[in-house]
Structure 1
Amino acid sequence: MEGIGLGTAAIGRPVYINIRHEKPGEVLSVPEFRKRGLAILDDAYRNGVRFFDTSPGYGLAESLLMEWLRGKDDPRIRVATKWGLSYAANFDRHAKVHEIKEHTLERLDAQWAFSEKLLPYLTTYQIHSATLETGVLDNRDILQRLHHIKKEHNIRIGLTTTGANQVEVLKKAVDIMVEDEPLFGSFQSTYNIMEQSLLQMKEIFAQTNTQLIIKESLANGRLMPGLPSKEHNGLYRYITTLAEQYNVGADAIGIRFCLDSFPGALVLSGASSSDQLHSNLEAKTFKLHEDELEMLGSYKIEPATYWDRRKQLPWQ
């Protein structure tokens, strides 16, 4: 499947930061939730998906993926997971705290002890939501430990970024050396029609053997037409026009924009149902023309504005 992987946040916990465009589904018990998650993993695999991204911060996602992988014998499957975020909501949809960030050596060691069970499918191990504020990129003990994991298991070390200064974090990370070699070989960042700051890194990524993973390609639902926002009416009309032209959903337009902006990158589907997954995967059936890419690109907004509005999105 061309450049499309499955992010497992939506199948590992019952709520996440987004705008819903469909009626809320029924409240499932934990066993029912697990069963549905396994079905979506099966569906993704049947449809050619071979890259899966997970995290301890995604509730059941890591253990769900481990259970699913026990029935597989396919060396093409690649898994990325993370450390630094813990799930705290305990399946309570109304919890005040859903996740806790802790970028300490103790947390790294504790989460790695579980995550390493994803081997041999585990190919990428990432710092979850690395920021300048936590100091994780200056912590030599953590960087040395990650380097040890990299060498012992022959896997990529990466990080994910979130926030208006994600490019600043990336620029710092690409220069980090441990034992005379770059530590990081994978970067997972937000990129979509509205938030295009990642383009500043395109040439740097092209010059290195870097794995780029794009998340939030649909801007947590904000790219989907139907929102009562006059500000983005022009964008919504154009996305709708393209969707009709290519006979796909608006979500496929958003994902295709990312695939065509960064050829060779992995773009994550965050599907929480098979219908969403199939609609997302339609992005592989066409390519946008240069003028269409330029027109979509013209709808970008300032990163500070984008991230300020993202902070206001509910957990649902």
Structure 2
Amino acid sequence: MQLGLGTAALGRPQYINLRQKGFINPDLKTFKQQSFSVLEKAYGLGVRYFDTAPGYGLAENLLLEWLQTKKDSDIQIATKWGYTYVANFNANAKVHEVKEHSLEKLNEQWKVSKAFLPHLKAYQIHSATLETGVLKNEAILNRLAFLKNEYEIEIGITTTGDNQVEVIKKALDVLVNGKPLFDAFQVTYNMLDQSLGVISETLLNQDKKIIIKEALANGRLFRNRRYKHYDKLYGVLEEFARKYNVGVDVIALKFCQQSINKSMVLSGASNDDHLKSNLQMNTITLSEEDLNRLKSYRIDSANYWGERKQLTWN
């Protein structure tokens, strides 16, 4: 199974995304029921890798509760530290999450995250950046190295922004007691931002795990009148969807999985129908010609992230 399930949309009703028509913001009870349904559906369809974070609202607690219904050692959980969810399910909240890369925050969030053991396989710095200094903070790095050795888990980072490759390079240079600290790299990658491609082979050669997030570019890969400059790409995606008899989402996910060797691609599905569609990724193989055609639609990373910053919580 080369598709994992990200739980950002399962743990909070607002997300930085382009909502499709027909979305209704549910009450808390209904929201939780829907999230449990997606988790159960994913498991039933063979998904065993689940990615979560404290910054995803109820996601960690929902996943912990759901895990109590399973006795399966194959289930793998990856979670993070560094963000705290503060919107309290208020659709009008001006601030939804607060970032803090401190030793105190790491220790505070570990108290919850360690409940995932023995299913916890990866513990990640949420949105590691050069600005927070987290990759130079010896107290944090030593603490992460201790958790890695004590609990036999992978330590990773997730990246966001137009300098993802620079951050990854800095992380690869981090040594604690002479040994590389970071094992897993969760990176934004899709047809528009393909910057990961310049360093993916380096990661693989060093036996690092690559997890791809935002494969659908926060919904921008679906035809949208706001993004007329992508009309040619939309046309190609729709052409390939017809050719392979799948949805545009499947083409986008498969593009990521095929163009970055040995990667795990995360689905961000928030309902059963989207999940079932995403999982069709495992049923097709894009031709080399089609893959190269899609690669030609890359844009400059600065432009990609500048456009992403214009998206709102909804």
**Could you tell me the TM-score, scaled by structure 2's length?**
0.99
Q: Does 1:8 align with 2:4?
A: no
SS of residue paired to 1:291 = helix
* Cα distance in structure 1, aligned partners of 2:104 and 2:43: 34
CA contact (8 A) 1:191 1:214 kept: yes
Q: 2:90 — aligned with what?
A: 92
Q: Does 1:38 align with 2:48?
A: no
Q: 2:242 — aligned with what?
A: 244
SS of residue paired to 1:157 = strand
Q: How does 1:225-236 map to 2 (within 5 A)?
A: 225-236=223-234
Q: Give how far 1:20 is off.
A: 1.5
Residue-by-residue CA offset, 1:168-216 (whole Å, 9 max, x unaligned) = 0000001111011100000000000000000011221121111110000
SS of residue paired to 2:270 = coil
Q: Does 1:17 align with 2:37?
A: no
Q: Give how far 1:264 is off.
A: 1.3
Opposite residue 94 of structure 1, the aligned amino acid is N
Consecutive aligned runs of 4 or more in structure 1 exceeding 3 Å deviation: none
Q: 2:161 — aligned with what?
A: 163
Q: Does 1:128 align with 2:129?
A: no
* Cα distance in structure 1, aligned partners of 2:224 and 2:238: 10
Q: 1:210 — aligned with what?
A: 208
Opposite residue 190 of structure 1, the aligned amino acid is T
67-76 vs 130-139, which deviates more? 67-76
Any unmatched runs of 5+ in structure 1?
none
Residue-by-residue CA offset, 1:243-295 (whole Å, 9 max, x unaligned) = 00000000000000001011311100000111111111111110111111111
Residue-by-residue CA offset, 1:282-311 (whole Å, 9 max, x unaligned) = 111101111111110000000000000000
* Cα distance in structure 2, aligned partners of 1:59 and 1:125: 18
SS of residue paired to 1:15 = coil
Q: 2:295 — aligned with what?
A: 297
155-164 vs 274-283, which deviates more? 274-283
Q: 1:219 — aligned with what?
A: 217
**Could you tell me the TM-score, scaled by structure 1's length?**
0.98
Q: 1:175 — aligned with what?
A: 173
* Cα distance in structure 2, aligned partners of 1:206 and 1:7: 22
Opposite residue 210 of structure 1, the aligned amino acid is K
SS of residue paired to 2:199 = helix
Q: Give how far 1:314 is off.
A: 1.1
Q: Give how far 1:230 is off.
A: 2.4
Q: Give how far 1:225 is off.
A: 2.1
Q: Give how far 1:32 is off.
A: 2.0
Opposite residue 12 of structure 2, the aligned amino acid is R
CA contact (8 A) 1:225 1:250 kept: no
Q: Does 1:108 align with 2:109?
A: no
Q: 1:311 — aligned with what?
A: 309
Q: Give how far 1:228 is off.
A: 4.1
Q: 2:142 — aligned with what?
A: 144
* Cα distance in structure 1, aligned partners of 2:227 and 2:6: 27
* Cα distance in structure 1, aligned partners of 2:122 and 2:9: 20
217-226 vs 60-69, which deviates more? 217-226
SS of residue paired to 1:72 = coil
* Cα distance in structure 2, aligned partners of 1:102 and 1:300: 32
